[in-house]
């Protein structure tokens, strides 16, 4: 029975890792749709979002079944609880990629981004996808050091996001209010995507250590 239970826990982790791969691909395609003004890619991301939603529902159903039927304790309980929260964050990452794709579709055949800000979104998109790929590996390996490294990549996205406001607030901004609104929203989507990736990584640290990063070193969240 114990061996079968551990197999179920591993399957839950693999489902989460697969979700990470899904949302990484979604943001990669959404960013390409944005930069390349590609309606087909935007439509693909939009139609595939239902698969991410289904994956979250499957993860949560499996996690709640483990809680109800196995009464896990200690590390196993942390694993199940972390999986529930991680699935929610991953689903939100999928939604943020969806928002990017919808912005690309809404403006098609015109580009959403003025030429001056395209390099920033190229960089943010690459960093965001890299974060999601790293999350996939962290879920599979439960590598605490690798999980902590994600915060550096998140800082990169935050720095670009802040710089975008400097660009938008420049009195010489020549692209009008609509473009400024689009750039503001899109920057926020990438910034939040990266934040959710870091949140998932912190959940994996919690699984291993019993402590949730960000709540203070003296607060033990051991279950």
**Domains present along the chain, CATH in parentheses:** 2-209 (1.20.58.220)
Distance of CA 115 to the CA centre of its chain: 26
| Residue 28 CB partners (closer than 8 Å, separation 6+) | 125, 129
Pair 82, 206: CB distance under 8 Å: yes
Give the pLDDT band of residue 2 (cuts 50, 70, 90): low
Read off the pLDDT of residues 96-145 as tens digits, 9 standing for 90 and up.
999 999 999 999 999 999 999 999 999 999 999 999 999 999 999 999 99
pTM of this structure: 0.92
Q: Is the pLDDT of residue 206 over 90?
A: yes
């Amino acid at each position: 029975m114990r061996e079968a239970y551990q197999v179920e826990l591993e399957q839950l982790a693999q489902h989460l890792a697969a979700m990470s791969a899904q949302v990484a691909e979604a943001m990669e395609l959404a960013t390409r749709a944005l930069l390349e003004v590609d309606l087909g890619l935007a439509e693909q991301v939009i139609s595939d979002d239902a698969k991410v939603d289904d994956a979250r529902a499957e993860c949560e159903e499996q996690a709640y079944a483990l809680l109800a039927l196995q009464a896990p304790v200690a590390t196993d309980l942390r694993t199940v609880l972390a999986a529930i929260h991680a699935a929610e964050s991953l689903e939100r990452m999928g939604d943020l990629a969806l928002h990017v794709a919808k912005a690309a579709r809404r403006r098609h055949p015109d580009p959403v981004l003025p030429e001056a800000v395209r390099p920033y979104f190229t960089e943010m998109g690459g960093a965001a996808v890299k974060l999601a790929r790293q999350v996939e590996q962290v879920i599979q390996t439960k590598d605490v050091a690798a999980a902590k490294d994600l915060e550096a990549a998140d800082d990169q996205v935050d720095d670009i996001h802040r710089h975008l406001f400097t660009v938008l607030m420049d009195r010489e901004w020549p692209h009008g209010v609509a473009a400024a609104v689009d750039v503001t929203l899109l920057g926020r989507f990438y910034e939040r995507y990266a934040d959710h990736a870091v949140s998932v990584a912190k959940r994996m640290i919690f699984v291993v250590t019993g402590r949730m990063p960000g709540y203070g070193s003296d607060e033990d969240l051991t279950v």
